[in-house]
Structure 1
Amino acid sequence: MENTNKQRSNVSSQTKTLVSAALFAALVCVTTAYFLHIPVGNGGYVHVGDTFIYLAAVLLPTPYAVASAAIGAGMADILTGSANWALATIIIKPIMVLFFTNKSEKIINLRNICAAIIAGIVGTFLYLVAEGIMIGSFTSAIVFTLMGLIQPIGSFIFFIIIGMAFDKLNIKEIFKNK
């Protein structure tokens, strides 16, 4: 009897984690594609969707956060007419997740603040490389990348604000006790 209850609990916990990952993928997609979505000259766009990638990275187990980032951001590229960026996105966004920790008691801590900065830098650099390959000119890619620097800065600011609010609401505890 005890073993059956434990199995139900594990299935319930896994289901909640999967649903949370799907919710984050949807949030990443919507905030990338439609919320403060600012097109830039290279067919790309500036957005704050990375905020929810960062939040997924600190609230979900890493494999689920990686999937949320890839699916949500990749779908946003397809929905906004930037499907040519989808392959780069589904490679780059999951890499950005890897700098965060979900093991801390709080969302906003020194490691996750540094992770958001590093993720922004790494993401910007990897998109610069992808763009240089796609358009055949790293000089042009640098110019377009300079226009896109607002994205990691904006996502960092939104991450800190939302993360601090979530910390006050003890959201991390709610995710732990699923």
Structure 2
Amino acid sequence: MKNYNILTTKKISLYALATALVTLATLFFRIPMPLGYANLGGCLIWIIGAFIGPVAGFVAGGLGSGLADLISGYASWSIPSIIIKGLMGYLVGKIINLGGKSFQVKTIRTAISIVLGEAWCVLGYILFGIVLFGSLKASMVQAPGLLLEGGINFIAFYVIAIALESVNFKKIVSFRQK
């Protein structure tokens, strides 16, 4: 039996490319909002978690989002983004691929995993906001924007994921030997 947990050139390359894509989606598809900005990085984090796996979702989601925060001048959010977005990518990837079942985009499990991942993301940023701003009330100012961002990312996820599923993208990025 082959060990799929070892680092291969393909895995390192794919994780690096995924991290770069999350960074770019976060930086270039931005909408300013109170206390930060909304972006399409979450959509790509979910796609990476779903199609490549939970570890890829964690690595690309965390590093890509953290790097985007550093580059865009939101350094105080960088470490929280690494943790929050990384765990979001892992959670979505783990639930979608639960029990080794074949991943399909148009299932309740996929929708639930996205909703739970986004709920974690909103909660994580609100909790960190309490620490950063010193109050729940101040931190809650970001909640409507985070929820709107989640809704936009949800729609974008389905548009992109359905297209990727139609070309059998999961098989293309699989680490299993043929």
- Give the TM-score category using the shorter length: 0.7 to 0.9
Confirm or deny that 1:40 pairs with 2:37. no
Alignment equivalent of 2:80, drawn from 60, 74, 88? 88
TM-score by length of 1: 0.85
Question: How do 1:4-153 and structure 2 match up within 5 A?
Answer: 14-35=8-29, 37-42=30-35, 44-97=36-89, 98-100=91-93, 101-102=96-97, 103-108=100-105, 109-153=107-151
Measured in 2, the distance between the counterparts of 1:149 and 1:27 equals 22
Amino-acid identity (%): 27
Amino acid at match of 1:53: I
Provide, for residues 119-167 of structure 1, a one-character-per-residue CA deviation record: whole Å limited to 9, x for no partner: 1111001101111110101112112212332111111111111111111
User: Aligned pairs, how many?
Assistant: 169
Moved more, 158-167 or 146-155: 146-155
Question: Quick one: distance in 2 between partners of 1:127 and 1:32?
Answer: 16
Deviates more, 1:110-119 or 1:58-67: 58-67
**Structure 2: 5+ residue stretches without partners:** none
* 1: CA distance, partners of 2:161 / 2:113: 13
Separation (CA, whole Å) in 2 of partners of 1:17 and 1:122? 27
